[in-house]
Amino acid sequence: MAVESILQIRDLSKTFSGKGAENRVLDKVNLSVDRGEFVSIIGASGCGKSTLLRIIGGLETASGGEAIFEGKAALKPSRERGFIFQDHRLLPWLNVIDNIKFSLPPNTTNANEIALEKLAVVRLSGFERHYPRELSGGMSQRAAIARALANSPKLLLLDEPLGALDAITKICLQEEILRIWNAEKISMILVTHDIDEAVYLGQRVVVMGKGGIEAIHRIELSLPRNRVSAEFARQKSAIYKAFFGNLDAPFSYTI
């Protein structure tokens, strides 16, 4: 039985203009994301991966082509598409529970109940009255995830949300993201620079070069995934080669 797509990206292009020049960061990108799928997008800085995510989220307009979400053009932000940024962006003058409630539609009658439920999902129960300054970096990002989940989105967009965290906290939050994805049954698209993270989380890894998609790797690994297994290493190696070519060649450099 065919799996239904929740998102179709069709010939999507984006050009930025400034200082008398044009910079085409996306050039006729095509991609489909299935309902309930976890897709990782990886690429070097400046390849357009975050721009692509922002267009999907309705935070940026395309210069050509379209992003179709649930059969409609994604032209503006929607509560059905949650967005998690590189930093948590919690409002410092609001405590955790009020930050989450702030994202809900005005006059939501059960806002408190929803916020507490999502805090439980990200394992922050008991911290609802804390302010952002009283939380660690990892806890702040978990609060940001709870805020994004508050509107029960069908698609969650994650723009390098773990990039600034230490290695141990990053691994713990990767486990949390997988657990939430499995529990919430929503589609997720993760933009990252981290090949290990892309393989560990994604069912497919989209490799982007300058302006477009260069390759798509399907990750045939069961959950939970073993980072030190030979098969995990093989999957990572295939993506490393997409970036760096022959890994067996001696590394040389010039000072």
Amino acid 35: pLDDT: 96
Residue-wise pLDDT tens digits, 56-81: 999 999 999 999 999 999 999 999 99
Full DSSP string of the chain: -PPPEEEEEEEEEEEEEETTEEEEEEEEEEEEEETT-EEEEEE-TTSSHHHHHHHHTTSS--SEEEEEETTEE--S--TTEEEE-SS----TTS-HHHHHHHTSPTT-TTHHHHHHHHHHHTT-TT-TT--GGGS-HHHHHHHHHHHHHTT--SEEEEESTTTTS-HHHHHHHHHHHHHHHHHHT-EEEEEES-HHHHHHH-SEEEEEETTEEEEEEE---PSSP-TTSHHHHHHHHHHHHHHHS-TTSPP----
Q: Domain boundaries in the chain?
A: 87-152
Residue-wise pLDDT tens digits, 159-195: 999 988 999 999 999 999 999 999 889 999 999 999 9
